[in-house]
Amino acid sequence: MAVAALDACAQTSTPPALSKVEPATDRLVQLASRGIRAHDPSTIVKCGDEYWLCATGNGIVSWHSKDLLTWTAGPRVFTNPPAWTTNMVPGNRGYFWAPDVIHVGNRYLLYYSVSTWGKNTSAIGLTTNPTLDPAATNYAWSDAGPVIRSKGEDPFNAIDPAVTVDGSGGLWLAFGSFWNGIMLVQLDPATGQRLVPDSPLYSLASKEQIEAACIYPHRGHYYLFVNWGACCRGTNSTYNIRVGRSDRITGPYLDQSGVDLLAGGGSLLVGSSGRFIGPGHAGIVSRDGADWFSCHFYDGTRGGIPTLALLPLRWDTSGWPRVMVESK
């Protein structure tokens, strides 16, 4: 979300849970659009025989699919916002941004942003559930409170959580929007919270307009995906997705030219093309041996509505990711 941003498109369309799902036409398959409204989609995770994602919205919206092509709206995570959110971040009324979800041990950990437009008085919250299947008898979200917060005097903004497991089983949270950029903190896999209250923060990437981090381990490297530009302006959005990589999750992350992402580096992975405008919030999911790159884009043929895309992802001979977008 841009500068602790609001999904401005939500003001002109129906809520995500009521959005019309487009048919899977050849054009949509080529573009890899899934035809559903989703802003800041989480990493896609599997529960049983279904894939799930969460996205920005009142109470956090959810979608599920058996094949990654046809998606159905699921329940909202929160019927009522946890009391601490409105106390810690005055002005927030349960419209939560940019969630991310991961399966660790015997439960799902869902991290989400609590903020207001243009301010870094923010927090990242955590809620947990043993299942994502709302029909299961043990389906219940449990509020675990805030994980990290930022105040006006802090040099960072505690939003846009992205959770990752490293090669040794360690749990990490990347986050940040504008201010001094993308940060990283280690978590306790048993609790989902910081290892200790003052555990170190690592700086990963910096740019005037940067946010929406995602870290993905692949063949001995860690890949850091970030967004440059501005979101939430429909077809006027300037979002584009950049990437760097490191041998360590804590960095340094260098782009393909060897420029540190802390020094403004970042190789362009995917930008606007035709109706595919302002791609944002990267994620990667694997199915049947193939990797898919998830993000939202502002659909130029639907008035700039934020729409879920799943794009074929390939890795070149040098180990860099490649994403192709149909431009029609």
311: DSSP letter? E
Residues 6+ apart with CB under 8 A from 262: 181, 203, 204, 205, 206, 251, 252, 253
**Is cis: bond before 252, omega within 30 of 0?**
yes
Comparing C-alpha atoms, which of 77, 140, 136, 131 is closest to residue 107?
131
What residues are annotated to the active site? 40, 211
Give me the residue label for tokens 């009324």.
93
User: 3-state class of 253 per DSSP?
Assistant: coil
- Distance in angstroms (rounded) separating the CA atoms of residues 131 and 129: 5
| CA 25, chain centre distance (Å) | 26
Burial label, 98 (beta-carbon count in 10 A; 0-12, 13-18, 19+): buried
Residues 6+ apart with CB under 8 A from 37: 13, 14, 16, 19, 305, 306, 307, 308
- Distance in angstroms (rounded) separating the CA atoms of residues 82 and 124: 12
